[in-house]
Amino acid sequence: MLCEALADFDTVEARDGEEGLEEIDNEPPDFLITDIRMPGLNGYALLEQVRERYPDMPVFGMSGYASSEDVHAHDFDGFMEKPMNLKDLCPLVESTVGID
């Protein structure tokens, strides 16, 4: 669904945090959107790994379960609560990666 909403961008989809980290290491993206609640390597752990390897990469978290305290305790560049309004997603990505 996110890939369809971001059809104007080159996107890569991963099933979980481990696969996502492999994809990031193969070709680091300009921007990362991760679900927080995932099996195995969850979004918080993925964020920590990405910050260690790619400290300047913008990372947005999304969840329908995480509390605002949990989200603010981590170093996300932004957060989207699920269900999210997909029409607001493109402008958010564009402003984050510096597209006017």
What domains sit in the chain, N to C, each tagged with a CATH number? 2-92 (3.40.50.2300)
The string of pLDDT tens digits covering residues 24-72 is 999 999 899 999 999 899 999 999 999 999 999 999 999 988 877 777 7
pTM: 0.86
Better-predicted residue by pLDDT, 81 or 98: 81
Better-predicted residue by pLDDT, 99 or 61: 61
Q: What DSSP element (H or E) covers 78?
A: strand 78-81
- As a whole number of angstroms, the distance between CA 83 and CA 23 comes to 25
At 84, the pLDDT band (50, 70, 90 cuts) reads confident
- As a whole number of angstroms, the distance between CA 97 and CA 36 comes to 21
